[in-house]
């Protein structure tokens, strides 16, 4: 039942044998050491497992690892090749996170938004982040960090 898949993870070519029932989140964390995606709800509701497939954010808890054969996967680790991004710096300046559990999902979702829309309105930022649950901050410092960066 095992199958070999080849894909690109954060710029690196990976070849891996997976079982069809292995979930992407599990493979990224446990087999490939990419620990930024986290398991919050395990059913698509919270956004903490967010990664990008071909430039689009997805919930890695709802993707089978075998599906990413031939695709390009980016986790937060992959955005940081040359250090913190301006977006991340803005999050630090605004003290946007407390525990940080939601941070990878928030950062990837905001990155996806800014790639499409350099000057998002506040409502557009809210919509882009919705479905990324944060239990600590009340969202305001997260949204402020993005608004400030783009104004």
- Residues at the contact surface with another protein, assessed by CB under 8 A: 1, 3, 19-23, 25-26, 29-30, 35, 37-40, 42-45, 47-50, 53, 56-59, 61-64, 66-67, 69, 101, 105, 109, 112-113, 126-128, 130-132
Which residue is listed with tokens 């960066």? 149
Q: Which of the choices another protein, ligand FES, none does residue 97 contact, using the CB cut-off of 5 to 8 A by kind? A: ligand FES
By CB under 6 A, which span of 3-11, 12-20, 64-72, 98-106 interacts with ligand FES? Answer: 98-106
Are 141 and 98 within 8 A, CB to CB?
A: no
Q: Does 35 bind ligand FES (CB under 6 A)?
A: no
Question: Among 13-21, 35-43, 107-115, 120-128, which window interacts with ligand FES (CB under 6 A)?
Answer: 35-43
């Amino acid at each position: 039942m095992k199958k070999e898949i080849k894909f690109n993870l954060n710029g690196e070519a990976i070849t891996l044998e997976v079982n069809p029932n292995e979930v992407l989140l599990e493979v990224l964390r446990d087999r490939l050491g990419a620990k930024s995606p986290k398991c919050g709800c395990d059913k698509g509701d919270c956004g903490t497992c967010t990664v990008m497939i071909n430039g689009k954010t997805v919930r890695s808890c709802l993707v089978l690892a075998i599906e990413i054969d031939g695709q390009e996967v980016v986790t937060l680790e992959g955005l940081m090749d040359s250090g913190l991004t301006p977006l991340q710096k803005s999050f630090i300046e605004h003290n946007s996170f407390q525990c940080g559990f939601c941070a990878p999902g928030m950062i990837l979702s905001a990155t996806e938004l800014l790639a499409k829309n350099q000057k998002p309105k506040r409502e557009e930022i809210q919509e882009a982040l919705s479905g990324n649950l944060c239990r600590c901050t009340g969202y305001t410092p997260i949204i402020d960090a993005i608004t400030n960066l783009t104004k």
